[in-house]
Structure 1
Amino acid sequence: MARPSVSEVLPLPDLHAPPAGGGPLAGFLNLGGDPVPVVDLARLLGLRSGDVSGDDPYRHILLDAKGTTGFLVDRVEDLVTVEASAVRPVSAERTLNGCVTAEIARGDGLVHVLSLSHLLTEEERARLSALAGAAAERLAALPAA
């Protein structure tokens, strides 16, 4: 991910997983009283099916720049600075919804740079927003602790 697309890297807290969720939705993060949908990035990209059980201390949530969506990742190892000469742009037409913005030559391979703002389609964002709205209504209906 490009640094400007991420507002925070958070340790994995307990997520509220509503029964109407499913698919790549891992649950909701309660962020200052606002439910933020958290999408399991590996499930979204078809790299894993089903839930991952257990507490993995290396799993993190990447909060997008707007703070409206979190992406569950298996591991955040480091923030690195890359020389401009090692970055090769990728045409938006070559990837689904333009989600890969560049490739970085690193070691013997290539690392894809993902755009958090382009990982979800407009329809997916609308559905997550509706689910987040319903979760906010449920929270508002409960008395404050």
Structure 2
Amino acid sequence: MDKGRGELQLVVFRLKEQVYGVDINHVLEIIRAAGVTAIPGAPAFVEGVINLRGRVIPVIDLARRLGLGTTGRSENTRIIIVEVGGATAGMVVDGVSEVLRLSPDDIQPPPAMVAGVSAAFLRGIALVGERLVILLDVTRIFHREEKEALRELSREA
């Protein structure tokens, strides 16, 4: 599943009482959730933008994007900065727990529906010990038009 190396590395995070993972190859960094500036007229799932060392980065509420409601805020809330189809965006999550290494054999294909998240966003499900980790495909979280809108937000703000 990860370009022939035989092992997949995931950044594992919590969102609405579920455990998710994204391929570490798409993750640029993980930061504390602070200083998000709202942008009028942005798509509903876009929370706003942040200034990351002089770069304006759009920030999305991942729970809202996945149809799970709004992500609450706590001291554990983080923003995972990802590269998505040529656009950089931050994804607000409830907390980041670890980097996990998996064999492709540990990953099962996604079922039609898991916890309200459309299978279109899923890469698969991994059983890790006693817990399930839902693998999100970052490249599918945004439609082409949304990626273009995120790139535009980065330029305008």
| 1:106 aligns with one of 115, 128, 131 | 128
Pick from 80, 83, 86 the counterpart of residue 100 of structure 2: 80
Cα distance in structure 1, aligned partners of 2:28 and 2:153: 22
Deviations 1:18-37 (A, max 9, x none): 22225111110111222110
Partner residue in 1 for 2:44: 23
2:139 pairs, out of 84, 101, 117, with: 117
Report the CA distance between 1:15 and its aligned residue. Answer: 0.7
Show structure 1 runs of 5+ residues with no match. 136-145
Measured in 1, the distance between the counterparts of 2:48 and 2:23 equals: 24
Aligned to 2:76: 58
Separation in structure 1 between the aligned mates of residue 150 and residue 87 of structure 2, nearest angstrom: 14
- Specify the SS of the correspondent of 1:43: helix
1:95 is the counterpart of 2:122: no
**Partners of 2:136 and 2:56 in 1: how far apart?**
24
In 1: Cα distance, 2:100 partner to 2:156 partner? 38
Distance 1:86 1:48 in 2: 29
Determine which structure has greater relative contact order: mean sequence separation of CA pairs < 8 Å that are 6+ residues apart, divided by chain length.
2
The Cα of 1:58 is off from its aligned counterpart by 0.7
Identity %: 26
* SS of equivalent residue, structure 1 residue 79: strand
Is the 8 Å Cα contact of residues 60 and 74 (structure 1) preserved in structure 2?
Answer: yes
Q: Give the equivalent residue in structure 1 for 2:54.
A: 33
Are 1:5 and 2:26 matched, yes or no? Answer: yes
Structure 1 length-normalised TM = 0.75
Distance 1:7 1:89, change over 3 A: farther
Q: Whose strand fraction is larger, Structure 1's or Structure 2's? A: 2
RMSD: 2.4
Higher alpha-carbon Rg = 1
TM-score, normalisation: structure 2: 0.70
